[in-house]
Amino acid sequence: MPETLAVVGGGVIGLAVAARASREGWSVRLYDPSIGSGASWVAGGMLAPLSEGWPGEHELLAFGAHSLARWPEFAAALPGPSVFSATGSLTVALDAADAADLKTIAEWVGEQGHDLEILGRAQVREIEPSLAQNIRLGLLAPTELAVDNRALVGALREAAADVEFVPEAVDDLGSLKADQIVLAAGAHSAAVLAGVQVRAVKGEILRLRRRPSASPSPTRTIRGSVHGRAVYLVPRGDGLVVGATQYESGQDTQVTVAGVRDLIADAERLMPSIGEYELHETAAGLRPMSPDGLPLIGRISERVIVASGHGRNGILLTPITADAVSALLAGDTLPEAKAADPARFEPAPLEKVRNK
Enumerate binding residues for ligand GLY (CB under 6 A). 43-44, 203, 243-244, 287, 312
CB of 239 or CB of 305, closer to ligand GLY: 239
In angstroms, what is the minimal distance from the CB of 253 to ligand GLY? 14
Residue pair 205/286 in contact (Cβ under 8 Å)? The answer is no
Give the residue from 170, 178, 180 showing the smallest Cα distance to 303: 180
Shortest CB 163 distance to ligand GLY, Å: 26
Residue 11 or 203 with smaller CB distance to ligand GLY: 203
CB of 43 to ligand GLY, least distance (A): 5
Nearer to ligand GLY, 10 or 288 (CB): 288
Residue 45 beta carbon to ligand GLY: minimum distance, rounded to whole angstroms: 7
Q: Which residues contact 81 (CB under 8 A, 6 or more apart)?
A: 151
CB of 283 to ligand GLY, least distance (A): 12
Pairing of strands 27-31, 4-8: parallel
What is the closest distance, in whole angstroms, from the C-beta atom of residue 244 to ligand GLY in the complex?
3
Judge contact between 329 and 180, C-beta under 8 A: yes
User: Among residues 301, 300, 72, 349, which one has the least CA distance to residue 309?
Assistant: 300
Q: Which secondary-structure segment (H or E) carries 234?
A: strand 229-236
Strands 221-226 and 229-236: antiparallel
**Whose Cβ is closer to ligand GLY: residue 39's or residue 306's?**
39
User: How many CB atoms neighbour CB 14 within 10 A?
Assistant: 31
| Least separation in angstroms between CB 36 and ligand GLY | 16
User: Is the Cβ of residue 317 or residue 340 nearer to ligand GLY in the bound state?
Assistant: 317
Which residue lies nearer to ligand GLY by CB, 218 or 243? 243
In sequence order, what DSSP letters do the residues of 266-318 get, joined into one string? Answer: HHHHH-GGGGGSEEEEEEEEEEEE-TTSS-EEEESSSSEEEEE--GGGTTTTH
Rounded Cα distance between 140 and 216, Å, is 20
Cβ proximity to ligand GLY, 11 vs 180, nearer residue: 11
Strands 304-308 and 296-299: antiparallel
- Least distance to ligand GLY, CB of residue 233, Å: 12
Per the CB < 8 A criterion, the answer to whether 45 and 147 are in contact is yes
Task: Say which DSSP state 163 is in.
Answer: S
Q: How long is the chain?
A: 356
Is the Cβ of residue 210 or residue 310 nearer to ligand GLY in the bound state?
310
